[in-house]
Amino acid sequence: MPAADSSAFFKKYLQDNGLYSDLRWKNLLDKKWDTMCNYAFAWGNIEQGKVPDVKEFKAVVNCIEGFDYEDIRTWETDTATNQKKKPKEPPYHLYRRTMFDSRMMTSVEMAKRWKSGEDSIRKLTKEERQDRRERIKVKYGPLSGCMVGEKEPSEALEDTLHGWKEMNRITHPISLGECTSVDMEWNLRRLQPNKKPRMEAFDRGDGSLIVTPVKDAAEARTDVHTTHQLEMALTRLGYALELADLLDFTVFHRWIEELMKGLDGNNLLTDRTLTVNECIYAHDYLFKIMEVDTRHSGIRREMNTGKHPLERALSKAMDSKQIERALVPGLLGARERAPPTKHKPEHKNTEGKSKSALKKEKTIARATTNKDKEIEELKKLIEQGKGFERPRKGKDKGKGKGKDKSGPPLPEGLKGGKHQGTSGDGRRICFGYNLKGCDGCEPGKECKKGWHICSIKGCKGTHSANDCDKK
C-alpha cells in the first residue's frame, strides 16, 4: 500500500476519483491537506466508529471548494450583470468517499507503524522528491535562483530531516559539513561508484560461515571554511527544512541574515567581526536550544492551526541570552569556538607538517624515550660534581674494575711509583719519548704511541722524564 503521507499519490488519487481541479488542489495546498494522512485528519480525529457531523463535514467541503453553497454571499459575482452567480453544487458523494478512504488508509498506516515500532522511518519515493522540489521552485519563482546548483540540497540531507519529521523530534545534531548539495553527492557517486562489495566467507567446521563485515559507503561532505561556504551550507539546510515540511525557508532565512550580519566587515556597529568557527558554534547551539524546547511537544506541523513548532522554537532561541552572547565576537573561549564537527584526534600541527612527518616524529620519540632518561640522569650527575669515567682505549678496554686509573701498564724503566701512563686530562703518554726519546713528532705533540709530555705525576711539562726536575 502506498504511504499515507505521499503528496504525489494523493494527487493521483483525486484525479482517478474525479475530484481533482486546479482550484481545489490549490486550496488543499494552502490548508496543508495535500497528503492522504493530512486529508484524513482534516475531517476530525480518527477514532473508531466516529464520523464528523453535518456541520463539520460541510465546513471542510467549503474550505476545499472555496465557497459555501448555502451562503449566497460567498458566491462568485458575475462581472457582466454584477450579480451573484450560483455555483455548481459540490460533489458531496465524492467527498464522503474520499473521506472514508483516507481515514481507512491512515488507520492502517498507523497500525502498521505501531506494530513495527516507533523507530521505523519511511523512505521517500522518487515522485515525492520531485513533487516537493518542483513545488518550492514554483513558490519562490525561477528568478530567485533557489534549488539551483550549489543551493539545491542533496537527497541525503533531505532524508536526514525527513527522519526528524518521522520521529517527530530532532533526533541528533547535524553539522554544517553534512549540508551538501546534489552536485557534491553526484561527484562522490561518480568518483566512488557503488560496486558489489567483495565478501569472504570462512567455514567454521560446523556448517556455519563467517562473513567479513561490509564497510559503510562513504558520505559526501562539504567544507565550511569561508563566508561563502557557510552561507551556502545554511541555505541548503533552509531549503531542506522546507522540503521536509518542518520550517519555511523565509523564516529560517532570518537566522542566515543574523549570522551574515556578524560576518560583515563593513558593519559600523561592531569593532570586530565573527569568525566562521564562532558562527558554526552559534548555529549548533541554536539547534540544541530548539531540540530541548521541542523534545516533548514534537516538531510536526500542527493540524488544527497549520503552524510549525520549529518556527516558535527558532524565534525563542534567537531571542535567548545564550545566542545573544554567542554572537558577540571574541567572548567565547578557544575551546568553545572550535567547530563541533565529528571528533577526530587532535594533531599539534603548528608548522604545517604532514601526517606522515608527525607519525615519524612520534615513532622516533617513542624509540628514544629511554635514551632521553639516561641523558637526563647523566646531566644531573655532572651538575652534582660526580662526573663519569672516560672509556679506556686499547686491548684492555672495559676490563678494568675502576680502581687503577693510571692507564696502560708501565714499562720496566718507568716503574717505581713516580710515573703514570695517562695525564690528568686523560691523554695517553708516549713511553718511548720519556725513556730513550722518540722522533715521531715534536715535544708537546701527539705521535702514534701517545703524547710527548712528561710521565712524572704532577708534572705537566712538554719535556721528557729524563729532563724533569721532579725526578
Q: Residue 168 corresponds to which amino acid?
A: N
pLDDT at residue 116, as a whole number: 54
DSSP β-bridge partners for residue 428? 422
Instruction: Give exposure, 347-356, as e/b (b: 16+ Cβ within 10 Å).
Output: eeeeeeeeee
Q: Which of 231, 220, 335 is nearest to 283 (CA)?
A: 231
pLDDT at residue 135, as a whole number: 85
Instruction: Give exposure, 91-114, as e/b (b: 16+ Cβ within 10 Å).
Output: eeeebeebbeebbebbeebeeebe
- Sequence-distant (≥ 6) Cβ neighbours of residue 168 within 8 angstroms: 298, 299, 300
Tell me the pLDDT tens digit for each residue of 347-362.
454 456 777 788 878 8
Q: Residue 452 corresponds to which amino acid?
A: H
pLDDT at residue 105, as a whole number: 82
DSSP β-bridge partners for residue 201? 211
Using a pLDDT cut of 90, give the percent of the chain over it: 16
At residue 432, the 3 state secondary structure works out as helix
Section 155-182 average pLDDT: 89
Instruction: Give exposure, 398-417, as e/b (b: 16+ Cβ within 10 Å).
Output: eeeeeeeeebbebeeebeee
- Claim: this prediction has a pTM higher than 0.75: no
pLDDT at residue 385, as a whole number: 60
Q: Residue 172 corresponds to which amino acid?
A: H
pLDDT at residue 398, as a whole number: 44
Answer for the pair 453, 444: CB distance below 8 angstroms, yes or no.
yes
pLDDT at residue 380, as a whole number: 78
Instruction: Give the C-alpha separation, 150 to 309, whole Å.
Output: 28
Section 279-303 average pLDDT: 90
284 confidence band (pLDDT: 50, 70, 90): very high
Contacts 24+ apart (CB under 8 A), 34-38: 34/7, 34/10, 35/4, 35/5, 35/6, 35/7, 35/10, 36/4, 36/5, 36/6, 36/9, 36/10, 36/102, 36/105, 36/106, 37/4, 37/5, 37/102, 37/106, 37/109, 38/5, 38/303
Section 387-410 average pLDDT: 52
Give the position of cell 482550484. Answer: 23
Cell triple for residue 199? 565478501
Section 117-129 average pLDDT: 69
Cell triple for residue 335? 575551546
Answer for the pair 87, 67: CB distance below 8 angstroms, yes or no.
yes
Tell me the pLDDT tens digit for each residue of 11-70.
888 988 889 998 999 888 888 788 888 888 788 755 555 667 788 888 889 889 988 888
DSSP β-bridge partners for residue 210? 202
Instruction: Give the C-alpha separation, 220 to 68, whole Å.
Output: 52
At residue 327, the 3 state secondary structure works out as coil
What does DSSP assign to residue 250?
H
Instruction: Give the C-alpha separation, 150 to 226, whole Å.
Output: 15
pLDDT at residue 390, as a whole number: 52
User: Is pLDDT at 393 greater than 60 in this prediction?
Assistant: no
Answer for the pair 125, 8: CB distance below 8 angstroms, yes or no.
yes
pLDDT at residue 334, as a whole number: 44
DSSP β-bridge partners for residue 211? 201
Instruction: Give the C-alpha separation, 104 to 36, whole Å.
Output: 10
Cell triple for residue 30? 494552502
Answer for the pair 318, 255: CB distance below 8 angstroms, yes or no.
yes
pLDDT at residue 305, as a whole number: 76
Using a pLDDT cut of 70, give the percent of the chain over it: 76
Answer for the pair 156, 237: CB distance below 8 angstroms, yes or no.
no
User: Is pLDDT at 462 greater than 70 in this prediction?
Assistant: yes
Section 218-245 average pLDDT: 89
Element (H, E) at 62: helix 54-65
User: Is pLDDT at 287 greater than 90 in this prediction?
Assistant: yes
C-alpha to C-alpha distances, 408 to 176, 178, 414, nearest whole angstrom: 77, 77, 12
Answer for the pair 151, 235: CB distance below 8 angstroms, yes or no.
yes
Rg (CA), the chain: 44
Section 151-167 average pLDDT: 89
User: Is pLDDT at 83 greater than 70 in this prediction?
Assistant: yes
Answer for the pair 224, 234: CB distance below 8 angstroms, yes or no.
no
pLDDT at residue 288, as a whole number: 94
Q: Which of 444, 440, 470 is nearest to 458 (CA)?
A: 470
14 HSE (CA, 13 A, CB side): 23
pLDDT at residue 202, as a whole number: 53
DSSP β-bridge partners for residue 84? 77
Tell me the pLDDT tens digit for each residue of 251-280.
999 999 999 988 876 665 556 788 888 999
Instruction: Give the C-alpha separation, 171 to 118, whole Å.
Output: 13
329 confidence band (pLDDT: 50, 70, 90): confident
Tell me the pLDDT tens digit for each residue of 169-223.
898 888 999 999 988 888 876 655 555 555 555 555 565 555 555 555 567 888 8
pLDDT at residue 240, as a whole number: 93
332 confidence band (pLDDT: 50, 70, 90): low
Instruction: Give the C-alpha separation, 246 to 158, whole Å.
Output: 11
What is the average pLDDT score of the chain? Answer: 78
